[in-house]
Amino acid sequence: MFNPLDFIDVAEFLEESKLDKKEAKNRTIIGRYYYASFLFLREILKENLKNYNSKEVKEFLYLIELSNSHKIILDFLNVLKKEDGKFRRVYNALSILRDLRNASDYELENPARIKSIKEMVDFNNNYYVGLSKNKYRIIVNSKSDIENILKDISKVNKILREI
């Protein structure tokens, strides 16, 4: 099975490359950090919830395989951050990464407006690559905290009912 964290190797390779297409390079790097983070979280959820038999969990596991899975996982984190404030950073990190990735993939104007960080983003600026890397690290470093929450089926079902 593909390891989503392998996207980080691609991002780091591009960061170190001498490619002179800086804007294209930075937009691609940001996308790799987002997908590494998103897929990392999705796999944690799938792995830790697969043995639960509640209706809510089964439906959630189905939904996170569909095209709107990006929103579903953010919705899960949004409810989770209300349950436990330490997950606010994880939610914010994925939300910012998603907005950066969407802008880097779909907004051809440069600089581009990013709603979550309320500023114009110049994809020629390496700052946004560094920001993406930082947000990725926040997500990866949250693994054990997320897994601990997922061990409590009553909390999981409560969160899923609120989505």
What average pLDDT does the chain have? 96
Classify residue 102: in a domain, yes or no: yes
Half-sphere exposure of 77 (CA within 13 A, CB side): 27
Task: Average the pLDDT over each of 43-52, 68-77, 107-116, 139-148 and give the range with the smallest value.
Answer: 107-116
Helix axes 153-162, 55-63, angle to 10 degrees: 60
pLDDT value of residue 115? 78
Q: Is position 30 within any domain?
A: yes
**CA-to-CA distance for 43 and 46, rounded, in angstroms?**
5
User: How does 130-143 read in b/e, with b if 16+ C-beta sit within 10 Å?
Assistant: ebbbebbebbeebe
Residue 127 lies inside a defined structural domain of this protein: yes
Whether 139 maps to a domain, the answer reads yes
Average pLDDT over residues 50-59: 96
Measured between alpha carbons, how far is 75 from 54 in angstroms, rounded to an integer? 19
Return d(Cα 71, Cα 77) in angstroms, integer.
10
Mind listing the pLDDT tens digit for each residue in 33-54? 999 999 999 999 999 999 999 9
**Residues in CB range of 22: below 8 A, 6 or more apart:** 123, 124
On whether residue 1 sits in a domain, the answer given is: no
The residues, ordered by sequence, that sit 6+ positions from 146 with a Cβ below 8 Å of its Cβ are 41, 44, 45, 48, 87, 90
Report how many domains make up the chain: 1
Asked, for residue 16, whether it belongs to a domain, the answer is yes
- pLDDT, tens only, 121-131: 999 999 999 99
* Structural domain range at position 126: 6-162
Q: Name the region of 110 (left: φ>0; alpha: ψ -120 to 50; beta: rest).
A: beta
Per the CB < 8 A criterion, the answer to whether 61 and 49 are in contact is: yes
Instruction: Name the band, by pLDDT with cuts 50, 70 and 90, for residue 83.
Output: confident
Q: Is the pLDDT of residue 119 over 90?
A: no
66 lies in a domain? Answer: yes
